Amino acid sequence: MEASSVTLNHVQRMINRPIKTTLNNRNIYTPAITMKHLAVIAVFILSPQFVAANEAIKVKTSAYKNIAINIIRTVGGAVPAENNSSISAQISAVIEKFHVDTGYEVNEDSLLVTLNCKENQLKLKQANANLNAEKAQLSNAKSQFIQAKKLSKQGNISKEIYNQRKAEESRLKATVENKKAAKSLAKINVERCQLKAPYDGYITKRIASVGELTQPGTPLLQLVSKTNSIVEVKVNNRLLSSFSQGKNHQFEFNNKFYALKVEFILPILDKTTRNHIARLSFINDHAITGSVGKVKWQDAVSSIPSSYIVLRNKKLGIFVADNAGTNTDANQSTAKFIEIENAREGQPASLALDEETQIITSGRFNVKHGDVLQINNQ
């Protein structure tokens, strides 16, 4: 460095001290620099010592692992009821008694409502009696047909009478089957006089009252299942990649966190909201049905804080110290600009880098791609 400084000073003195000559009694001053001197100056300016001494930019760096952040993203989520049923009457009858009311917890097959069933019970008795009558006629017809077959073999009965006995037995067999079906239907209607819970759950609303006449489809109670293992969310198309590739999905409700895993993402995009419907399942504990909270997850790729992102040639990115520590001077390196696609000004950006990559943290605003750097992390 001292030799370089002496050479530079010597050149400057030659430029500032011209040579005096006399021509026709006139004094003429010319620079003391010749082509030889210019060659010396060029070699000096291009020398590594001159560049290092006059162009190296002082910066500070830090390993990416020390400044990277893990972005936590959040969307609204809810635990829908697995079953939310309107318990309705299936027959026309008068409501006789409610065994449950709003807020009751019920188990599968618990009795909920009793309807007046006298009419349906009488219809069942009637159907049973009709069936027995037809069975008696069928029994008689079978006996007559057996007798007709014996007489036919002996030739003591006409073909016409034989066919009549056979047809009568077949008709009564069909009639008996018809009466059996009528009896089964009457029995079902008697069973429908008692409405039972189809699954474990809670009564959220009582709709009808005792004494009212119901018709098929008349709602009486609202029943919601106790638990559900699913959380439903709507994910904006912009966050879809982060959501599907993210990790540590959790459902937050009442300051409590429940671990989740992604079950499926509906591949159809809502054209109005630009959202995808996704469902996640609870891994361990379940939140109660109807819970409305937040679903949080962590980006799979670390992000660079927005304060380290710079704009160069209308592109957003970061500067790193390339080949740090590989030069003759362990503290010298070269600036390298790395563009970050989809980066937004003022926001952290996902960036996949080796965790030991040296990010320029101080002095980056004065740096250009390819600049020689003097690293000083003291």
* 3 state SS for 20-32: EEEECCEEEEECC
Q: Return the pLDDT at 61.
A: 92
The length of the chain, given as a count of residues: 378
CB 290 within 8 A of CB 254: no
In this structure, are strands 332-339 and 372-375 parallel, antiparallel, or unpaired?
antiparallel
The DSSP code for 288 is P
Kindly list the domain boundaries of the chain, sorted by start residue: 2-49, 56-70+303-375, 73-82+227-298, 118-192
| pTM, 2 dp | 0.59
Quick check: helix, strand or coil at residue 359?
strand
DSSP β-bridge partners for residue 358: 63
Structure letter (DSSP) for residue 268: P
Cβ distance 229 to 282 under 8 Å? yes
Residue 323: CB atoms within 10 A of its CB come to 12
Q: Which of 111, 259, 123, 138 is nearest to 196 (CA)?
A: 111
Decide if 56-70+303-375 and 118-192 have a common fold: no
* Alpha helices (H) in the chain, listed in sequence order: 2-16, 35-45, 48-55, 64-67, 118-154, 159-191, 240-245
Residue 285 phi, psi (nearest 5): -70, 150
Q: Which residues, in sequence order, are CB contacts of 109 under 8 Å at separation 6+?
A: 196, 197
Domain 118-192 listed as CATH 1.10.260: no
**Cβ(257)–Cβ(250) below 8 Å:** yes
The list of the chain residues with pLDDT below 50 reads: 1-8, 11, 44, 48-53, 325-328
Beta bridge partners of 243: none
**CATH class (in words) of the domain with range 73-82+227-298:** mainly beta
Q: If you classify domain 56-70+303-375 with CATH, what class do you get?
A: mainly beta
**Buried residues in 229-263 as b, exposed as e (16+ CB within 10 A):** ebbebbbeeebeebbeebeebbbbbeeeebebebe
Handedness of CA 306, 361, 359, 378 (dihedral sign): negative
Q: Which residues contact 185 (CB under 8 A, 6 or more apart)?
A: 127
Read off the tokens for 314: 């209308």
Rounded CA separation 205/215 (Å): 19
Residue found by looking up tokens 């040639």 in the block: 313
Give the span between the Cα atoms of 303 and 376, in whole angstroms: 25
Provide the pairing of β-strand 247-253 with 292-298. Answer: antiparallel
Q: How far apart are CA 100 and CA 220, in angstroms?
A: 11
Q: And the tokens for 284?
A: 């361990």
DSSP bridge partners of 111: 196
Looking up tokens 């891994």 gives 283
Give bridge partners of residue 349 from the DSSP assignment.
Answer: 304
* DSSP 8-class letter at 239: G
pLDDT at 4: 43
